[in-house]
């Protein structure tokens, strides 16, 4: 039973990372192509964005 909870939370966090990356990518670039690429990268793009964008107007 704990295996099911573990896979549920892992799937949720990966999905959340992809959605967050898509939103951040669209806000920054307004490009569907880049949104799709960044959705695949997920958390990698989110971390990259936070490191490289120092204006943080969304914060």
For residue range 39-51, list pLDDT tens digits in order.
999 989 988 988 8
Selection from 13, 27, 20 nearest residue 45 by Cα: 20
Establish if 30 belongs to a structural domain. Answer: yes
Q: Which residues of the chain have pLDDT under 70?
A: 1-14, 55-59
Which structural domain range is residue 9 located in? 2-52
Please check whether residue 27 lies inside any domain of the structure.
Answer: yes
The answer as to whether 48 is a domain residue is yes
Is residue 59 a part of any domain in this protein? no
- Phi, psi of 55, deg, nearest 5: -70, -35
Please say whether the dihedral angle defined by the alpha carbons of residues 8, 9, 15 and 19, taken in this order, is positive or negative: positive
Mean per-residue pLDDT of the chain: 79
Q: Which residues have a Cβ under 8 Å from the Cβ of 40 and sit 6 or more positions away?
A: 18
Identify whether 36 is part of a domain.
Answer: yes
Residue 56, both tokens: 């943080």
- In a domain, residue 58? The reply is no
Q: What pTM was estimated for this model as a whole?
A: 0.65
Gap between the Cα atoms of 53 and 55, Å rounded: 6
Q: How many domains does the chain have?
A: 1
């Amino acid at each position: 039973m704990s295996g099911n909870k573990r896979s549920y939370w892992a799937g949720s966090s990966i999905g959340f990372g992809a959605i967050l990356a898509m939103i951040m990518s669209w806000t920054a670039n307004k490009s569907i192509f880049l949104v799709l690429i960044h959705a695949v990268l997920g958390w990698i793009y989110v971390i990259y964005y936070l490191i490289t964008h120092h204006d943080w107007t969304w914060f």
